[in-house]
């Protein structure tokens, strides 16, 4: 079991780094390392490499391990890294073990891709992997299973430390947080678009994909809400929303493709997303260039304010 994690360490922005590929579809670990180091320099301290926006469902288990390893290599000892875990239970157990050995702080169970789910089956799956890895564990809720009741039961397990909650029903979320007697950290799993409302209802942090291209903005938004500066937090959210609204188009099907193109506007080449992610048209690329221009200008200003000598 890894050293205990203080809840305040989780009360921040949880970045889901984009995954860099060469044109031959192999991981581009040099580009990945450079990007991760840049995120760390901006202030990101919690990483979910290989998770949803990182193209989890298109990655092989050994690629997730490589992403964990490079994240650990280029960040500091204060970094928390949670490896995404899913699929067949034997693969999940081995991937969890391999990721911990590669430097992960803990694991995060991804939403189930399996059909015919039940709480009983989910619990047995979770405990099987947790027993193998014996490490700090996050649960990602994006559907009916796992139920809130199961998550509250799992909260009693000392390895359970938090929930990435992405069912955007605020009363349900608030009721569940209030019922937690074991002190889990309840994290907004729906990024900047929903983060203000989750934070008002009891979340201490939120996940981010937009932070790949505007990490200082995402962190500034979080800091504003933590300090109680709600008007400022909403002002910053308004600046980020064009990214999130574009990603949410057509059933969230632009989630990855939009960011994969947007990051090229920062000078990074991460390659195209893997199938079945959508390919952007030239018109869509032009739309993204236009909406990103003021965001990147503001991001550059914030970065300059942080490092005036650079």
pLDDT per residue over 91-145, tens digit each?
999 999 999 999 999 999 999 999 999 999 999 999 999 999 999 999 999 999 9
Give the pLDDT band (50/70/90) at residue 308: low
- 149 phi and psi, to 5 degrees? -65, -40
Question: Does residue 310 lie in a domain region?
Answer: no
Q: Which of 59-63, 86-90, 198-202, 304-308 has the lowest mean pLDDT?
A: 304-308
Residues 194-209 have a mean pLDDT of 98
Give yes or no for a contact between 86 and 49, defined as CB atoms under 8 angstroms apart.
no
Question: Does residue 59 lie in a domain region?
Answer: yes
Distance, CA of 102 to CA of 108 (rounded, Å): 15
Give yes or no for a contact between 115 and 144, defined as CB atoms under 8 angstroms apart.
no
Tokens of 260: 């994969």
**Structure confidence by residue, pLDDT tens digits, 240-297:** 999 999 999 999 999 999 999 999 999 999 999 999 999 999 999 999 999 999 999 9
* pLDDT recorded at residue 1: 46
Question: Does residue 282 lie in a domain region?
Answer: yes
Reported pTM: 0.97
Give the pLDDT band (50/70/90) at residue 3: low
Question: Does residue 100 lie in a domain region?
Answer: yes
Beta strands in 97-240 (DSSP E): 106-109, 137-141, 160-165, 185-188, 206-208
Residues 219-240 have a mean pLDDT of 98
Q: Give the CATH number for residue 54.
A: 3.20.20.70
Give the pLDDT band (50/70/90) at residue 310: very low
- Mean pLDDT (the chain) is 96
Question: Does residue 134 lie in a domain region?
Answer: yes
Number of domains the chain is built from = 1
Question: Does residue 1 lie in a domain region?
Answer: no
Question: Does residue 126 lie in a domain region?
Answer: yes
pLDDT higher than 80, residue 2: no
Nearest CA among 152, 41, 23, 1 for reference residue 15 = 41
Give yes or no for a contact between 96 and 133, defined as CB atoms under 8 angstroms apart.
yes
Q: Which residues span the domain enclosing 213?
A: 7-305
Distance, CA of 57 to CA of 187 (rounded, Å): 22
């Amino acid at each position: 079991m890894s050293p205990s994690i203080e809840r305040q360490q989780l009360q921040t922005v949880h970045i889901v780094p984009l995954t860099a590929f060469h044109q031959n579809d192999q991981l581009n670990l040099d580009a990945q390392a450079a990007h991760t180091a840049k995120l760390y320099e901006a202030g990101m301290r919690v990483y979910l490499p290989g998770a949803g926006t990182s193209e989890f469902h298109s990655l092989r288990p050994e690629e997730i391990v490589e992403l964990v390893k490079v994240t650990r290599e280029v960040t500091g000892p204060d970094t928390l890294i949670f490896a995404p875990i899913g699929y067949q239970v034997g693969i999940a157990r081995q991937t969890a073990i391999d990721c911990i050995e590669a430097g992960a702080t803990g694991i995060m169970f991804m939403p189930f891709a399996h059909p015919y789910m039940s709480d009983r089956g989910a619990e047995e799956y979770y405990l099987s992997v947790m027993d193998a890895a014996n490490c700090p564990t996050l649960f990602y809720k994006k559907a009916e299973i796992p139920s809130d009741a199961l998550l509250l039961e799992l909260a009693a397990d000392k390895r359970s430390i938090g929930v990435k909650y992405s069912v955007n029903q605020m009363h349900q979320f608030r009721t569940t947080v209030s019922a937690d007697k074991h002190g889990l950290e309840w994290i907004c799993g729906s990024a900047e678009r929903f983060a203000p409302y989750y934070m008002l209802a009891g979340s201490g942090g939120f996940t981010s994909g937009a932070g790949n291209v505007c990490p200082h903005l995402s962190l500034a938004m979080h800091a504003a809400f933590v300090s109680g500066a709600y008007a400022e937090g909403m002002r910053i959210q308004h600046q980020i929303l064009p990214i999130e609204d574009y990603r949410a188009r057509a059933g969230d099907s632009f989630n990855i493709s939009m960011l994969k193109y947007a990051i090229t506007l920062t000078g990074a080449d991460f390659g195209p997303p893997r199938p079945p992610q959508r390919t952007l048209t030239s018109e869509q690329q032009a739309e993204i260039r236009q909406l990103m221009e003021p965001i990147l200008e503001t991001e550059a200003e914030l970065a300059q304010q942080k490092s005036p000598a650079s």
